[in-house]
Amino acid sequence: MSTIAFLNIPMHGHINPTLPIVAELVRRGHRVTYHTWPAFRQEIEATGAVVRLHPGGDFPAPDPPMPVTLMEELARTTVRLLPAVLSDLRGTPPDLVVHDNACLWGAIAARELAVPAAASFTTFAYNRSVPSPTSASWALLASAAAHARHARGYLRARRELRRRYDTRGLPPLDLGNIRQPLNLVYTSRTFQPGAEDLAPSYRFVGPSIGARPVDPSLPVEPLRDPVMYASLGTLFSADPRMLRTFATALAPLGGTVIISTGHTDPAALGPLPAQVIARHSVPQLQVLGRAALFITHGGMNSVNEALYAGVPMLVVPQGADQPLVARRVTELGAGLSLRNRDVTEDAVRALARSLLEVPRFRSAANTLAAAQRGAGGFRRAADELERYLRDSVPTDRPAPAPARGAAPGPGAGPGTGAGASPGPALGPGPGAGPAPPFHDPSPRG
């Protein structure tokens, strides 16, 4: 079978959807290597992949968090990581590289090795309806001017990469949107805004959700209906006052209220009504399988999981792409949205009551659930990767560039598409099947 290398940025929301795919590829007999940081080792090893740890420290969080600082850190990290990554890859030469759409080092590594590459999109695919945050724009230019030090750091890193590696065809700015001849998108075509504008290279495989064992710490079957669940994700500490507002707003509606506090101490919410369960984390898929309502920050993974379960949502976006996700949920009738500054007990209770009692919300959520499940999930993604490999023509590939130490010169031949490695024309993929016995213990974004 084939050897497939996965490279990703160090964020649970980007790594988690790839894990069931990796487990499925391993089950089918492929050798999979995953190049990552120590914090993700345990959950990746659970898939059966061979973990290759990056040297040095963790990926520095962009400071302040904005597109121009993200671009700088992605480029600087690429300069730092590529020598070790290429050494690892040459030790176990892959037949295919799968990298995150923001993983510049993965795209360059594929070019240096002259192997096909596929991109992994855990957000929406970017187009006119969903602009990439790192695409050329007046806002990006203004941000670069206001943060000139970070802009200069980005330009220095890109010059260094051009000097040492083959970077032809890679986007000069849009490092959050590195595309390949095969692009896996972990939602349904129905949920993607402007899907008709996207090339056939985008494969909407739906939520990549593997089987997980039942968590006995929170039995959901005995919970009193309606079960109402609130979570603002695990990336940042949630405002305990807002979480308390959710709890006290929902409690009078009857049933059981479950609050996932993330990094916030549940004790910071203060005394809560008896029917409220507040914990750092809960088995989200298990809870969504029983939930009648989900209050969410609008993280793409969480929303995809809620749609997969057919649960209406109240979306309270906190930042990043979450306002776009909230808008799409409301456009398709599967939920409502509320701004942070408008969160009050009365507002949350009124909107929650509508989501519970007005049938059209549940109907729209069920329609989207059918689309999410019909997209195929991790099995469809594995099928697409296998087809991509079969349709590649190895004899057409240039020979991989030899190792050149810490300062390589120009390497492999040009790829196909925007920053792409050689790849085939793509055909449609089959549907989904039952999930394999894969346990993903990591938090969801």
pLDDT digit string, tens, across residues 120-159:
999 999 999 999 988 877 887 888 888 888 999 999 999 9
Closest by CA to 173, choosing from 61, 262, 71, 102, is 71
Closest by CA to 259, choosing from 268, 241, 246, 270, is 246
Fold that domain 3-206+375-396 belongs to in CATH: Rossmann fold (3.40.50)
Average pLDDT, the chain: 87
**pTM, two decimal places:** 0.85
Q: Find how far residue 142's CA is from the centre of its chain.
A: 28
- Rounded to whole angstroms, what are the CA distances from 285 to 3, 223, 229, 301? 31, 15, 11, 11
Query: Taking the CB of residue 158, how many other CB atoms lie within 10 A of it?
Result: 22
- Rounded to whole angstroms, what are the CA distances from 11 to 22, 44, 58, 369, 429? 17, 13, 11, 26, 28
44-58: pLDDT as tens digits: 999 999 999 998 767
Q: Over pLDDT 70: what percentage of the chain?
A: 86
In this predicted structure, the answer to whether residue 309 has a pLDDT above a threshold of 90 is: yes
Q: Which residue has the higher pLDDT, 59 or 297?
A: 297
At 236 the pLDDT is: 63
Q: Over pLDDT 90: what percentage of the chain?
A: 71
Question: Which residues are within 8 A (CB) of 271 and not within 5 positions of it... i.e. 6 or more apart?
Answer: none
386-442: pLDDT as tens digits: 999 999 856 444 555 554 444 333 333 333 334 444 444 333 333 333 333 333 333
Query: What is the residue extent of each domain of the chain?
Result: 3-206+375-396, 227-372
Domains 3-206+375-396 and 227-372 share a fold: yes
337-354: pLDDT as tens digits: 999 999 999 999 999 999
At 408 the pLDDT is: 38
- Residues 385, 94 contacting (CB under 8 angstroms): no
Instruction: Find out whether the peptide bond into 64 is cis, omega within 30 degrees of 0.
Output: yes
Q: Which residue has the higher pLDDT, 330 or 143?
A: 330
| pLDDT band, residue 212 (cuts 50/70/90) | confident
239-293: pLDDT as tens digits: 899 999 999 999 999 999 999 998 899 999 999 999 999 999 999 999 999 999 9
79-100: pLDDT as tens digits: 999 999 999 999 999 999 999 9
Q: Quick one: three-class SS letters along the chain?
A: CCEEEEECCCCHHHHCCHHHHHHHHHHCCCEEEEEECHHHHHHHHCCCCEEEECCCCCCCCCCCCCHHHHHHHHHHHHHHHHHHHHHHHHHCCCCEEEEECCCHHHHHHHHHHCCCEEEEECCCCCCCCCCCCCCCCHHHHHHHHHCHHHHHHHHHHHHHHHHHCCCCCCCCCCCCCCCCCEEEECCCCCCCCCHHHCCCCEEECCCCCCCCCCCCCCCCCCCCCCEEEEECCCCCCCCHHHHHHHHHHHHHHCCEEEEECCCCCHHHHCCCCCCEEEECCCCHHHHHCCEEEEEECCCHHHHHHHHHHCCCEEECCCCCCHHHHHHHHHHCCCEEECCHHHCCHHHHHHHHHHHHHCHHHHHHHHHHHHHHHHCCHHHHHHHHHHHHHHHCCHHHCCCCCCCCCCCCCCCCCCCCCCCCCCCCCCCCCCCCCCCCCCCCCCCCC
Fold that domain 227-372 belongs to in CATH: Rossmann fold (3.40.50)
Q: Find how far residue 364's CA is from the centre of its chain.
A: 24
